[in-house]
Structure 1
C-alpha cells in the first residue's frame, strides 16, 4: 500500500512529467476511479489548463492548475506513471492525461480502492482533507506528542490513524516502533515523555530515509527487510519476530527489542 514516501515519489513524477505543461486531453478509461465527478466534467475542467504545482498531505496528492485542483489518493495499488504518448497502455491505466511535449501522465491502479477527485477551488480541497491529521513529515515534536497523549488507543493504531497523523501506513508504523524500541500494543496515552520524544526522532529519521528511497525499503538492516521471511528474525538482536493483528492489520514486532514504554 502506498504510504507517505511513495506518494512523495508520485508527486515528483507529476512534477517532472507534467508541471508547466498544458493538458491537451483527458482520457478516462475507467470511471470507477472517479469520485463525485463525471468523466465529462473532469475533461472539461482540466483540458486546456496547465499543471502549475503540487502539494502532498499525508497520503493525498493535490495538483494545481490555476483553477480546479486534482486530488489523488492511491489506495492500496495506485501509482502515477510518466510515459510517452506512443507507449502501449497498461491494462490498469485508469485515467490518462496527455500534456504538451508528447508526454502522458497515467493514473494506474489495479484494485481501484481510491482514485481521483476534482476540487473546484482551494476551499473545496481543504474540505476534502479536513479530516486529516498533521502531515507526518511536517509535524513538529510538540504537536506530535500532543496527538499521542490525547489518544487512548494502542500506539500502532494511533500512528496509522490518518485523523491523528497523516501519512504513516502499516510498514512505516512497524518500522518506526521497532527502531524506537516500543511495542505496538502499548497505549499511546501511557507513553512517557522520553518515549514520545524517541518515537518522534525515529519517525523523522525513518521518513527521511524512506522518502529518499521513494518507498519503505526492504533493507537487511530494517525490520521491513525481514517481515516477510518464512521464519523472520530481528536484524538487531536475532530474536524471532512476532506477528499479530491490530485493527485488522498484520503487525510485526520484536519481543526482544520492543519493551513496554517507560
Structure 2
C-alpha cells in the first residue's frame, strides 16, 4: 500500500511531469476510480487548464488547477502516478490519462481501485477533505507527538496508523518505526514513558527520511522490512520474529528486542 514516502514520490512525478503544463485532454478509461465527480465534469474542469504546484498531506496528494479547482488523489492499495510519453503503450490498469502539452502524459494506474481521484471545486473544499487528518508525520514536532501518544487510547501501533492522529504512516512504516524504537506494537500508547515516546519519534523521523529518499519503504537487509516475508529472523539480534494481526493488519516484531 502506498504510504507517505510513496506519495511523496508521486508528488515529485507530478511536479516534474505536469506542473505548469496545460492539460490538453483527460481520458477517463475507467470511471471506477472517480470519487464524487463524473468523467464529464472532470474533463470540463481540467481540460485546457494548467496544473499548479502539488502538495502532499499524509497519504493524500493535491494538485491545484488554474482558476480554483484541485485534483485530490488517494492511492488506496495499488494506486500510482506515472509520467510517460504519448506513444508509450497503455497498461491494462491505466485508469485516467492526462495528455499534456509537450507530448507527455500523466497516468493514474490502479489495479484494485479501492480509492481514486476527487475534484475539489475550491481551496476551501480541499481543506474540508483534509480536515479529518491529523498532522503530517513529516511535520509534527516532537513535543506534540509525545503529548499525542500520552492522550490516545489503543495500542501504539493503532495510534501510529490512525490517519486522524498522524497522517501518512501505514503498516510497513509503523512496524519499522516500532522495531527501531524497541517498542512492542501492542503496548498501550498512553503507557509509554516519555523516553520511549521520544525514541518512537526519533525512529519515525529517521525511517521517514530514508524512505522518502527511496520513494518507498525500502526492503533493506538491515531493516525489518527486508526480513518480514522471506527470513523470519530479526536483523538486529537474530531472534525469531513474530507475526499476528494488530490494529487489523499483519504485524511483525521481535519479542526479544521490543518490549
User: What TM-score bracket applies, with the shorter chain setting the length?
Assistant: over 0.9
Q: Which residue of 1 aligns with 2:146?
A: 145
Residue correspondence of structure 1 range 186-197 to structure 2 within 5 A: 186-197=187-198
How far does the alpha carbon of each residue in 1:160-199 deviate from its partner, in whole angstroms, 9 at most, with x for none?
A: 0100100000000000000000000000010110011111
Q: Partners in 1 of 2:148 and 2:48 — Cα distance?
A: 43
Q: Partners in 2 of 1:146 and 1:22 — Cα distance?
A: 45
1:177–1:199: 8 Å Cα contact kept in structure 2?
Answer: yes
SS in 1 for 2:225: helix
Q: Partners in 2 of 1:113 and 1:211 — Cα distance?
A: 24
Q: Partners in 1 of 2:147 and 2:27 — Cα distance?
A: 45
Following TM superposition, the consecutive aligned residue runs of length 4 or more in structure 1 with deviations greater than 6 angstroms are: none
Q: Which residue of 1 aligns with 2:232?
A: 232
Number of equivalences: 258
Once the 2 structures are TM-superposed, how far is the Cα of residue 257 of structure 1 from its aligned partner? 0.5
Q: Which residue of 2 aligns with 1:26?
A: 26
Q: Which residue of 2 aligns with 1:123?
A: 124
Residue correspondence of structure 1 range 179-218 to structure 2 within 5 A: 179-218=180-219
CA RMSD of aligned residues (A): 0.7
Matched, 1:257 2:229: no
How far does the alpha carbon of each residue in 1:58-98 deviate from its partner, in whole angstroms, 9 at most, with x for none?
A: 00000012320000010000000110011111000000100
Q: Which residue of 1 aligns with 2:167?
A: 166
SS in 2 for 1:143: helix
Residue correspondence of structure 1 range 102-117 to structure 2 within 5 A: 102-117=103-118
Q: Which residue of 1 aligns with 2:63?
A: 63
Q: Which residue of 2 aligns with 1:53?
A: 53
Q: Which residue of 2 aligns with 1:44?
A: 44
Question: Structure 2 unaligned runs (5+)?
Answer: none
Once the 2 structures are TM-superposed, how far is the Cα of residue 247 of structure 1 from its aligned partner? 2.4
Once the 2 structures are TM-superposed, how far is the Cα of residue 3 of structure 1 from its aligned partner? 0.3
Q: What TM-score, normalized by structure 2, do the two folds share?
A: 0.98
Q: Which residue of 1 aligns with 2:93?
A: 92
2:156–2:186: 8 Å Cα contact kept in structure 1?
Answer: yes
1:53–1:65: 8 Å Cα contact kept in structure 2?
Answer: no
Q: Partners in 2 of 1:25 and 1:144 — Cα distance?
A: 44
Q: Which residue of 2 aligns with 1:175?
A: 176
Once the 2 structures are TM-superposed, how far is the Cα of residue 142 of structure 1 from its aligned partner? 1.5
1:155–1:184: 8 Å Cα contact kept in structure 2?
Answer: yes
Q: What TM-score, normalized by structure 1, do the two folds share?
A: 0.97
Matched, 1:2 2:26: no
